[in-house]
Structure 1
Amino acid sequence: MVGKIYHWIGLASLALVLLSSFSASLWAANLADGLTFYLPFDGDANAFVARGNPMEMGGGIGVVFVKGKIGQAAYCGHRGKNRYLSYLTTSPNFSPNIFAQQGTIAFWVCTDWDGNEPSERYCHFLSIRSGLFYLYWHRGALTFSSTIRSQARHHYAPTVPISNWKAGEWHHVAITWQRDAKTLKGFKRIFVDGKLEGEAKDVLLDLELTGALIIGGIDGSETFERIADASIDEFAVWERALSQGEIDQLMSLGKRGQSLASLPEVQKLAQETQRRIRKPLLPQKGNLLPNASFEVGTHPYRASNMSLRLNETTKVHGNFSACLDISHWTGTTIFASGLFVARQQVEHTFSVWLKSERRGVQARFGVYSAYVGGSQPYEPIFYGIEDEAELSTKWQRYSVTGKLPPSPNNFYFVRIAFKSSQPTKVWLDAMQLEEGKKATPFQPSSPIEVGLTTTKLFHLFHPDEAVRVQLSVFNESEAAKTVPLTVTVCDLWERVVARRRIQVQAKRLKKELKFMLPLGSYRVSVADAKGKILDEQVIAVLPKFDEGFESMGIHVAANETGAVLARALGCRWVRILDACAVTHWDIVEPKEGQWAFERENWIDGAIDTYRKAGLKILGLLFGTPTWASSGGSVNHPPKDLEKWREYVRRVAKHFKGRINAWEVWNEPYGLGLFEGKEELYLQMVKIAAEEIKAVDPQAQIVAPCTYWRLENIVAWTERLIGLGLLNFADVFSFHGYEGYRPLDFEKVKAWSCADGKLRPVWNTEQGLISQSFYRFLPDAYDDPYTRWIAGSKAPTAKEAAALLVKAYVSSLAAGCEKFFQYWAVPEEGLLPRLKSMSLLEFDNALRPKAVAWAIVGWILDGSKVEKVERRGNLWELHFGKGDITVTVIWNEGEPVSMNVSRGIKALTMMGTPIEGKKVVVGDEPVYLMRLRKRCGWICPKNFRLTAFQRPPHRDNFAAEGVLKSDEGGHT
């Protein structure tokens, strides 16, 4: 009997062990399900598991590690010099680490303070500024705060007391949230030490979690009052709201001294994270930098001021060096490369030959990770190997050696910052990056280098001329063997429209290839026998616009290149914002009573540059100088409105007859660019109208520069109108960002005539980010600016072209007279970054969105909107000019097939004809053109047949013979 009892006890014990083991495995599986981000802080500050980017934005530098609940913890407090930790919620090249729809954040925390401490300070455990998403301690309680974006206010709930907490104790905290996908309403919960202590139900959660996730503080905090003053451990994020039972399991795990990292399912997620960001590479031999002695053009390199060019008169290797300018405006020029692959945590040496025109030029040079830290758009933190030197006026080789830091997918770039107190030139040649601890004699990355370029500004051609692309080959192999190359021309839809197969047998070759191409954007590529792309050149084909289009405005620099670009795209107007700030108060009167245009010729020179190009000007009254500011920044209104009056009067007199219209402030609706109330802005508009009209009655007053969506901005606008704004505005202005349908701007049209008077409506700023049309360079740069403008994803080049066309035609259809595109400047950071709001690529080639916008402006020039129809997902915008009607159509759902009647010409958004009797209509706008009274078709002004004829097949697909040249010669 006793034996049977022991037998059953043994079986029961075994069952308990098995059940415990099974339960533990279930816990592991459950807690790994939906885990998107996990920081154990054991070893470094980077994430052990990350759905997105795992890297700490400060590179882990300066993070203080202390004894944790399990292993190590990160300390965020005054003993750590206020160091909080920053991570990316979203990133252009990764999936998100956190989701607004639902989620959980859990962690262990040990504070330096008692929960009932009588203090007015805030201690933030976590924050996401973009969503105003906070968890903080204040006045003895924990608060889970979030923003209601549509109402521009915070929701400070739930709040739970933690007055029983004592300094030095470990506590477990978790927050969960979940919302309905349609209503965006849901709950927020706080769990403390495993118990649900607070809940807010039926809360509007229309937040976006796209900024930096700050642990232990708040982004931008410079004092310790908002730092956690606490140790934080086992910080984890899930893409789902964990249940009470799962929170219990998580806390029990920590109480047993077991980390999430110990669970097998979590370890699998960690392995997946490592596979995503660290591709294994074999040791690499030789020079890792392509075209490093600039023998075949300047790709893939760039100077921030677009001054990079080839030089034959002085060089170290081969036939060319590269030369760039340092201007007196900034005193700094940045040279940068596109991204390339190298092995991380391996010793590398970077070397470069440099010389300067004059002494005193400083150069900081190095190789950096494609992941750039920092949470502020214009404050990057670079990680890499670097050194600095003062340049000689004779060629000298400079080098730096070190281990390359971690970088997602092993991408790196070269960056050299040149500084000089005086204008000068700098030459570069024979760059080399190699594995090892010292620089070896220069060798090109490949014995045969190939490049493409054109001689045209913006690489822009016209339909009645041949597209001429220069192919360059530099061969350093011992024997000039025959090299097969294929040059291919693809349109925006990746259709091959031209191809040349070439056999090259030469030491040095320059060959001009000619193509006849219709309107549109094209990418010319050259590939080797294995199909590897060696170089590309983006080109555009546009009509010559003898006169610009009144409806088209732009933001371009006030130099000859900017003016030529504006006219090349068909623009008649330019707006004075950040591309040229010569009318801004802080520029024209930096010190009280000292007017810059009385001493500086460049201000009048900028305006004259625009005027000589035939451009009309929308001036901007904007930017309070520090001495006049009520809050110490350019975004605060003046403390004395009489000073504002004097500023308006002086610029109106000085620019009389040269500036056609004046807009009062930029985006003054209270989101950071104007720290004042509606009544004050109205007073400033009234003063501006009085002073400008007294000086120049023909000049138009443009206001209020509002935005068409978000409840708080709508309320701001309607309050302004109620206060009498329309009494002083000749033109009603707004910014149309994210508006791509006529329906989006109906409210704006109603605002403009709320007093019963019809007045013009101008969309004075709208643009969008886009990916590059280039493919030969990796688009994986991850810096604060890219994260700010692109978020987690940017439209492709083709998608952006379609969106910009829809924004433009929707503005016109809603009654807008003018549309000012933002912007068309060669942004400083283009390379290694490729994503941009600019209409220009890194080499100043026109992006497809620029070409599509110019073409639709040309087609609709002088027309009036006649009717807007919406049939389900199908939009039809009808425009008329005399006997011609143009219908712009697109479909927001699945593409539909439509019959094309006789006498109607169907064109793509690039202006090329669609052949056949049917047209497929999808997201991309299609143009249907016809005569009203008779069959046939008529072209818009200057629309020549050569603009859309298909090129002769044999010319664009002809094969070349073997191309030869003498060593060092040209062909």
Structure 2
Amino acid sequence: MAGTVWLVASLTLVLFCTTGFAQANLVGNGDFERTAGANQPPDRWASSGAAHVKQQLTRDVGREGKGFSAKLTCTEFGNGTPSSHAMICQAGVVSLQRGKWYRLTFWAKGEGVKGGVVQVAISNTKNWSNTGLSDGVTVRPAWQRFELLFQASQELAAADSRLQFWFNSTGAFWLDDVELLATDMKAQQQPQLATDGRVNFLPNSSFECATAGWGSYSPDLRAGWQGNLYQLVGDLDATTAAHGKHSLRIRLSADALPTFFFDYFDPVRQPARCVLAAHHGWAPVQRGKPYTLSAFLKADKPNVTGVLFIRQAQARPQRKDVPLTTDWQRYVFTFTAETEFAWAAVGLDLAASKLDAATVWVDAVQLEAGAQATPYQPCQPVEVLATPSETDKPLEGPPHIPLDVHAFNNAPVAQTANTTLVVSDFWDAEVVRQTVSLSVPPQGRATKTVDLPFGKYGFYRVQMGQQHSRCAVIKPHSGNDSRFGMNHAYPWDFMLPLAHQAGILWWRDWTVQWRTVQPERGAAFDFREPDAQIDRVLKQSGQVLALFPFPSSAWTSTATPAAVDKIARNEYEKRRLPLAFKPNDEPAFARYVAESVRHYRKRLRAYQVFNESLYTSYALPASAGHTMDDYVRLCRLAYTAIKAEQPDALVVGGMGIWADNKWTRDFVEAGGLKFCDVLDLHVYPKGQPEFYADSLAQLWKRMKERGEAKPIWVTELGCYGDDDPAITPLSAFFGDAAMRRSLHPSEREATEWLVKFAALFFVNGGEKIFLHAGTCGEINGQDVGGVFFEYGGAPRKMLAGVAAMATLLPADAKFDRTEQFAEKVVAHWFRTPTGQVAVAWSTDGETRRLPLPASTQALDLMGNALTGQAMTVTHAPIYLIRK
């Protein structure tokens, strides 16, 4: 049986540092022991919310059965206003210093709170801005301790502060032992290289262990959150070397440069003309001390510009350009550390060279402490590293992965290198342990190919000393449709087939903007830029959902400078907002849509009308006076234009917010479903999937009652997890508030949540899920937002989970029924072309051992068959199949 493998190695040493000292709690009466009297709320605490929210704040027994806790009970709840919440808060007490780190700890529990979701924040009541803490926790009936680390983003006087805990439903919430302390914690970059006792900090610095531990970076790619080079641009060369027998060759040619694509806001199609080889991992350095980067370089012609580059954490990058010759020479760059972490890169700049093509060889790279370069030496006398075995053939037979183990011996005598490979699976259980021994000649290398017999499909981690590798063995997805996609296509073409093989086939594209295809009134339509973005996806057999993001172009917008200035928060929004206002020429808007569909009707089958209308500033912002009537009218114009050009096209419409929101309900009740074939929802969730399923079921029921049961797509879903974060604490640095809300403690938990959410979504009218977003972070940088992959296409656990689900529940699967196997154990059954498939789990999280029904096979979350006549059901989903 064929399988597909991704494996990327990196060097990891995880550290986390905090220091502190005894200090006073910044929260008043955090243990709730003081009160003004019997049946009174605790001192310094109050409830807050709209008048229609019936809530009461009292004291209850403390978490250890003694003392007191706070109890907030909400018996009536109504959604619809910003103050529709049940909240316990403390105003006028907490103060914060900008840039300082704080640790908030508390104990909490809850009953009847929807999804168990409780939000936590410290707000500036002068302007209701966030001050650095905006997070959420999931409470259960039993007491739990929570810890939130954050960095204050502004100076906050106590008089202007509000510490707040709130939820959006009926229910009861208990709180105890709330403590807020300043901390001297320092953010830690990850992974960190071992430097103690080593002159050269960089492993495999002369490429004798192939290219293990190396990737690429391009300083001239100014893509920001969208990413950078995502794999090594270069190859091993055994014909020339400054040290040992191998070097790294980087070849650039103007007609074949690595090209970065992205579809938002200004479409990006940028060739990388400066390409550097960069090592994985951060070197710990001492602020204010000198360090020296050196490397041997040579070029295929004179006057090629070489680059020595230093990237420091949260500091400006530094570089030194040097003219190269055709002979090996050593080049040196000394710098002063401005932060506690740094990494280095070396390569060439084709633009600075004023050349169309050049080749540069790199060898003997050294990063060391001190103001002078010392004679080159490898990181260790004997180095052992691994790389994936290169094969273009599918791997046949039981699931396995071949791995090349390389050893380099810098000593003048032969050495024996011994190492142990330890493989763990999706559940972090050890499944393989194998010792490898290599005889390495003096100042030479040895390689041995090791076949790791996993035996099952799924996610695996291979640990070898300080080096770890991620890999996934999956059944490649077949067919040209699936239930999964991404908002924005990954910038690099090599990433698309990796996603497609896992059943992630759909890509939501933002480039068909009116301003892009018709920048001036009366100008001919020009689709060259959208074509470049869309066609690259189609050539890889992907499917594209073309979004018409904005209702206007600059020349047809009804926006005035005063109206824009009133709601714009920054320069970027000042550029974007005029496009969000309704057009002053609606027939011209209809022509723009029609021309776009006429251009793409032989290539695409789905189009979306606007993004997050009314409730955000993307399209028709209500804050600028736009109404639901405006959206429905323009949606009707777009729908009519699309159907006239492509009658079988799918038109996706709606507010792009979750099912229980007023804007979604208003769209349905306003008759908006008449002008779309698919209803669009967005959600960046926190809490149990069942919470979101309840509101979705109510929406689906209402659509049926109206005779408008249209399929539902989620074109933006947040679900994140990273077991190897590039910085800790991750929650303090990752994404925006919406994305942080959807960050799970681990990749396993994110995967389990995603599969359960998807199953419940498909039960209640859902058809497709687009995760946000297709980004590719730079080497050693944050990369959580790309969801499924780490640098180089290394898989996260979520990829293996989605791959199994996409195979078991293809796009044409239909929901059949929900079966109750036992109390709190449900199975949601779907009909597929090959039989029936169910997704089952325990809704209360308890573990139950149940008899397996006749003619039924149980599969684990990775799609592997489970043996025996009974099934173990827990909070984690499993599959049941009947042929």
- Asked if these proteins are the same fold (TM beyond 0.5), I'd say yes
- For residues 150-190 of structure 1, the C-alpha deviation after alignment (integer angstroms, 9 at most, x for no partner) is 734699x9999xxxxxxxxxxxxxxx9x9998698999999
Matches of residues 450-599 of structure 1 in structure 2 within 5 Å?
Answer: 450-455=384-389, 466-506=400-440, 507-523=444-460, 525=462, 527=464, 532-533=465-466, 535-555=467-487, 556-557=489-490, 560-571=493-504, 573-577=505-509, 581-592=510-521, 597=526
Distance 1:653 1:512, change over 3 A: same
Distance 1:364 1:292 in 2: 14
Q: Distance in 1 between matches of 2:203 and 2:414?
A: 20
Matches within 5 A, 1:76-115: none
User: Secondary structure of 2:293's partner?
Assistant: strand
User: Residue 587 of structure 1 aligns to a residue in which SS?
Assistant: helix
TM-score by length of 1: 0.62
Q: 1:119-268, aligned counterparts within 5 Å?
A: 151-152=81-82, 213-216=152-155
Matches within 5 A, 1:595-610: 597=526, 600=528, 603-604=530-531, 606-610=533-537
Shift in CA distance, 390/838, structure 1 to aligned 2, threshold 3 Å = farther
Cα deviation, residue 286, structure 1: 0.5
CA distance in 1, matches of 2:299, 2:81: 56
Shift in alpha-carbon separation, 1:526–1:296, aligned structure 2, 3 A: farther
Alignment counterpart, residue 840 of structure 1, candidates 774, 789, 793:
789
Question: Could you say if the C-alpha distance between residues 484 and 437 of structure 1 is closer, same or farther in structure 2, counting changes exceeding 3 Å?
Answer: same
> Which of 611, 614, 617 does residue 672 from structure 1 map onto?
617
- Residue 662 of structure 1: CA displacement? 0.6
Choose from 266, 272, 281 the match for 1:339: 281
Q: Does structure 1 conserve the Cα–Cα contact (< 8 Å) formed by 2:655 and 2:663?
A: no
Q: Residues 856-891 of structure 1: CA distance to partner in whole angstroms, max 9, x if unpaired?
A: 121123432222357765443222347833221223
Query: Which amino acid is the alignment partner of residue 695 of structure 1?
Result: E
Once the 2 structures are TM-superposed, how far is the Cα of residue 644 of structure 1 from its aligned partner?
2.4
Is 2:373 the partner of 1:445? no
Match of 2:631 in 1: 681
* Partners of 1:292 and 1:429 within 8 A in 2: yes
> Could you tell me whether the CA contact under 8 Å between 1:661 and 1:701 is conserved in 2?
yes
* Cα distance in structure 1, aligned partners of 2:747 and 2:123: 42
Task: Report the secondary structure of 1:906's partner residue.
Answer: strand
Question: Does the CA contact (< 8 Å) of 1:559 and 1:606 recur in 2?
Answer: no
Post-superposition offset of 1:708: 1.2
Match of 2:343 in 1: 413
Summarize deviations over 1:549-594 as a string: whole Å, max 9, x none. 44333453487534423431234x42333xxx44233433345555
The aligned counterpart of 2:144 is none
Change (3 A) 1:726 1:810: same
Query: In the alignment, does 2:241 pair up with 1:311?
Result: no
C-alpha separation in 2, matches of 1:850 and 1:833: 18
Q: Does 1:302 align with 2:215?
A: yes
SS at match of 2:618: coil
Change in Cα spacing, 1:874 to 1:591, as seen in structure 2 (3 Å) is farther
Conserved 8 A contact 1:762-1:817: yes
Cα distance in 2, alignment partners of residues 865 and 706 from structure 1: 24
Partner SS state of residue 682, structure 1? helix
- Give runs of aligned pairs for residues 851-866 of structure 1, distance below 5 A: 851-861=800-810, 862-866=812-816
Which residue identity does 2:25 align to in structure 1? G
Q: Within 2, Cα distance between the matches of 1:558 and 1:879?
A: 35
Between the aligned partners of 1:765 and 1:458, the Cα distance in structure 2 is 35
More displaced, 866-875 or 675-684?
866-875
Task: For 2:796 and 2:631, locate their aligned partners in 1 and report how far apart those are by CA, in whole Å.
Answer: 37
1:404 aligns to what? 337
Aligned counterpart, 1:700: 650
Q: Distance in 2 between matches of 1:187 and 1:275?
A: 21
Q: Which residue of 1 aligns with 2:689?
A: 740
- 1:330 matched to 2:282? The reply is no
Amino acid at match of 2:235: L
Distance (Å, rounded) in 1 between the aligned partners of 2:456 and 2:524: 47
SS at structure 1 position matched to 2:667: helix
Residue of structure 2 in register with 1:766 after alignment? 717
Change in 2 beyond 3 A, CA 1:613/1:185: closer
Contact 2:650 2:677 (8 Å CA) reproduced: yes
User: Where does residue 798 of structure 2 map in the other structure?
Assistant: 849
Taking the TM superposition and a 5 Å limit, the aligned residue runs for 1:352-391 are: 352-354=295-297, 363=307, 365-369=309-313, 372=314, 382=315, 386-389=318-321
In 2, Cα distance between equivalents of 1:320 and 1:465: 34
SS in 1 for 2:447: strand
SS at match of 2:762: helix
Deviation at 1:645, TM superposition (A): 2.3
Q: Do 1:863 and 1:881's aligned partners in 2 also have CA atoms closer than 8 Å?
A: yes
With the length of structure 2 as denominator, give the TM-score of the two structures: 0.68
Amino acid at match of 2:247: F
Tell me if the contact between 1:523 and 1:536 (Cα under 8 Å) persists in the aligned partners: no
- Quote the Cα distance in structure 2 between the aligned partners of 1:698 and 1:810: 28
Percent identity between the two aligned chains: 21
Per the alignment, residue 57 of structure 1 pairs with none
Q: 1: distance between equivalents of 2:840 and 2:319?
A: 56
Distance in structure 2 (CA, Å) of the matches to 1:152 and 1:503? 64
1:349 shift after superposition: 2.0
SS in 2 for 1:431: strand
Cα distance in 1 between the residues matched to 2:310 and 2:27: 34
Residues 894-913 of structure 1: CA distance to partner in whole angstroms, max 9, x if unpaired? 43122232543221100112
8 Å Cα contact 2:276-2:307 kept in structure 1: no
Give the letter for the 1:351 counterpart.
S
Q: Distance in 2 between matches of 1:824 and 1:685?
A: 27
Q: Which amino acid aligns with 2:205?
A: A
Q: Secondary structure at the match of 1:634?
A: helix
Question: Is it true that 1:720 corresponds to 2:667 in the alignment?
Answer: yes
- Which residue is equivalent to 1:32? 23
CA deviations 1:506-529 (Å, max 9, x no partner) are: 2212222223434433435353xx
Does residue 799 (structure 1) correspond to residue 728 (structure 2)? The answer is no
What is the CA–CA distance in structure 2 between the aligned matches of 1:188 and 1:785, rounded to whole Å?
Answer: 18
Note the alpha carbon deviations across 1:206-238, whole angstroms, 9 max, x for none: 986998633359xxxxxxxxxxxxxx9x99999
C-alpha distance in 1 between matches for 2:534 and 2:122: 54
In the TM superposition, what are the counterparts of 1:954-969 in structure 2 within 5 Å?
A: none
Which amino acid is 2:665 matched to?
E
Q: How does 1:810-829 map to 2 (within 5 A)?
A: 810-825=760-775, 827-829=776-778
Counterparts in 2 of 1:610 and 1:330: CA distance versus 1, 3 Å = closer
2:205 aligns with one of 280, 285, 292: 292
Is residue 841 of structure 2 the alignment partner of residue 890 of structure 1? yes
What do the CA deviations read for 1:251-299 (whole angstroms, capped 9, x no partner)?
Answer: xxxxxxxxxxxxxxx9xx88975899999x9964401122223332444
| Contact 2:280–2:779, Cα closer than 8 Å, also in 1 | no
Write the distance in 1 (CA, Å) between the matches of 2:498 and 2:642. Answer: 30
SS in structure 2 at match of 1:450? strand
AA of the residue aligned to 2:472: A
Q: Does 2:868 correspond to 1:916?
A: yes
The superposition leaves residues 132-151 of structure 1 with CA deviations (integer Å, 9 ceiling, x where unpaired) of xxxxxxxxxxxxxxxx9973
When the two chains are superposed, the root-mean-square deviation of aligned CA atoms in Å is: 4.9
Q: State the alpha-carbon separation in 2 of the partners of residues 429 and 102 from structure 1.
A: 67
**Unmatched 5+ residue regions in structure 1?**
1-28, 38-100, 105-147, 161-175, 192-197, 218-231, 242-265, 373-381, 931-937, 939-971
**Residues 120, 134 of structure 2: 8 Å contact kept:** no
- State the Cα distance separating 1:679 from its structure 2 match: 3.0
1:355–1:391 Cα contact (<8 Å) kept: no
Aligned residues: 697
Kept in 2, the 8 Å contact 1:468–1:514? The answer is yes
* Contact 2:840–2:877 under 8 Å retained in 1: yes
C-alpha distance 744-690 of structure 1, shift in aligned 2 (>3 A) = same
Measured after TM superposition, the shift of residue 637 of structure 1 is 2.9
* In structure 2, distance between residues paired with 1:780 and 1:353: 37
- What are the Cα deviations for residues 589-645 of structure 1, in whole angstroms up to 9, with x where unaligned? 3455556746x3x64355444444444432111145545553553352354334422
